[in-house]
């Protein structure tokens, strides 16, 4: 099977450098028409010029592809809506959205300012919501869409000094879970990329000898699969240094406690049983947890539940 994107239109945010650039070039090389978005400027989100995004567009065109440049700030919904309209005016549809734009304002929670905290959340979370909302009805009406949300191991597992970034990135999980359910009937598939790459956002954080292993190009193949026609949905793919993995959230089997035992002391005493990973479950939607708990309680009490 060869994955191609002929006739499809893709929007890639933060595509002037690093991961976004790699994604945009790879999509174009496989036939997609690409709108290359980048606010420009430094990694603090201060903006600057379109030069990096324009260079990506010129690279795509030089290789025989179609591309447009766009300088929208993803945290500004009016600019985002204009960006999507630009793609629609030029090509009439949007098939793929890769939410990649981001900034860093690293600091411990104690020392960091609230202004910096919300600035990071605005770009990563609000920006992702703005872009996804702007293409959502377009994809619903055309009965096709592929959306990537970019998370991070900082959001999945934590990273010292990145409470703002980790908060925004963890929020992608909840957004993906709901959009996966709401988009399914219209053939919209939503996935998360949790990358580890050497980009302008990680300068100075990764030792020089390791940098070649962490090139953005080592990650992009996973993205291309997750925005392809045969893409999965509701997948968190970790990628870096040519390694690809899937992260999942599990819930332990759980322990029913009779009413007289529902005290913090009993929970403390039996916490090892409560947290035992034996027989753990991967839940597909929130109602499954409710019904699982009800079933477990009913079984313990000898109550027969009506068959659905």
List, for residues 265-278, the tens digit of each pLDDT value: 999 999 999 999 99
Pairing of strands 236-240, 243-247: antiparallel
Give the total number of structural domains in the chain. Answer: 2
Q: Is residue 253 part of a domain?
A: no
**Do 104 and 209 sit in the same domain of this protein?**
yes
Q: Is residue 308 part of a domain?
A: no
**Do 186 and 293 sit in the same domain of this protein?**
no
Q: What is the pLDDT of residue 307?
A: 79
**Do 174 and 282 sit in the same domain of this protein?**
no
> Which domain covers residue 270, as residue numbers?
259-301
**Do 39 and 83 sit in the same domain of this protein?**
yes
Q: Please give the positions annotated as active site.
A: 165
**Do 101 and 231 sit in the same domain of this protein?**
yes
Q: What is the CATH number of the domain that holds 100?
A: 3.40.50.720
**Do 156 and 43 sit in the same domain of this protein?**
yes
Question: Which one of 223, 247, 271 terminates a domain?
Answer: 247
Q: What is the pLDDT of residue 7?
A: 97
**Do 264 and 236 sit in the same domain of this protein?**
no
**Do 283 and 175 sit in the same domain of this protein?**
no
**Do 166 and 275 sit in the same domain of this protein?**
no
Query: What confidence tens digit (pLDDT) does each residue in 243-268 have?
Result: 999 999 999 999 999 999 999 999 99
**Do 227 and 100 sit in the same domain of this protein?**
yes
Q: What is the pLDDT of residue 297?
A: 86
Q: Is residue 307 part of a domain?
A: no
Question: Which one of 203, 222, 247 terminates a domain?
Answer: 247
Q: Is residue 30 part of a domain?
A: yes
Residues with pLDDT less than 50, the chain: 41-46
Q: What is the pLDDT of residue 45?
A: 44
């Amino acid at each position: 099977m060869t994955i191609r994107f002929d006739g499809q239109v893709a929007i890639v945010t933060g595509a002037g450098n690093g991961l976004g650039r790699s994604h945009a070039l790879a999509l174009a090389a496989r036939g997609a028409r690409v709108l290359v978005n980048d606010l420009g400027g430094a990694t603090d989100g201060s903006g600057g010029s379109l030069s990096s995004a324009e260079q990506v567009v010129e690279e795509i065109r030089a290789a025989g592809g179609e591309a447009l440049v766009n300088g929208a700030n993803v945290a500004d919904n009016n600019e985002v809506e204009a960006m999507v309209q630009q793609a629609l005016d030029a090509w009439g549809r949007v098939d793929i959205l890769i939410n990649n734009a981001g900034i860093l304002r690293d600091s411990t929670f104690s020392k960091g300012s609230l202004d910096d905290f919300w600035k990071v959340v605005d770009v990563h979370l609000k920006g992702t919501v703005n872009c996804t909302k702007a293409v959502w009805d377009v994809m619903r009406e055309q009965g096709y869409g592929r959306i990537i949300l970019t998370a991070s191991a900082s959001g999945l597992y934590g990273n010292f000094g990145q409470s703002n970034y980790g908060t925004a990135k963890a929020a992608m999980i909840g957004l993906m879970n709901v959009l996966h359910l709401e988009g399914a009937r219209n053939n919209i598939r939503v996935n998360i990329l949790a990358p580890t790459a050497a980009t302008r956002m990680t300068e100075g954080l990764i030792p020089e000898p390791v940098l070649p292993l962490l090139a953005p190009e080592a990650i992009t193949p996973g993205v291309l699969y997750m925005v392809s026609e045969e893409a999965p949905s509701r997948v968190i793919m970790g990628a870096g240094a040519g390694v690809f993995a899937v992260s999942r959230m599990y819930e332990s089997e759980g322990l029913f406690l009779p009413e007289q035992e529902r005290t913090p002391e009993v929970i403390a005493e039996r916490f090892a049983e409560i947290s035992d990973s034996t027989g753990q479950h991967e839940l597909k939607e929130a109602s499954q947890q409710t019904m699982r708990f009800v079933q477990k309680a009913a079984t313990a009490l000898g109550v027969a539940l009506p068959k659905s």
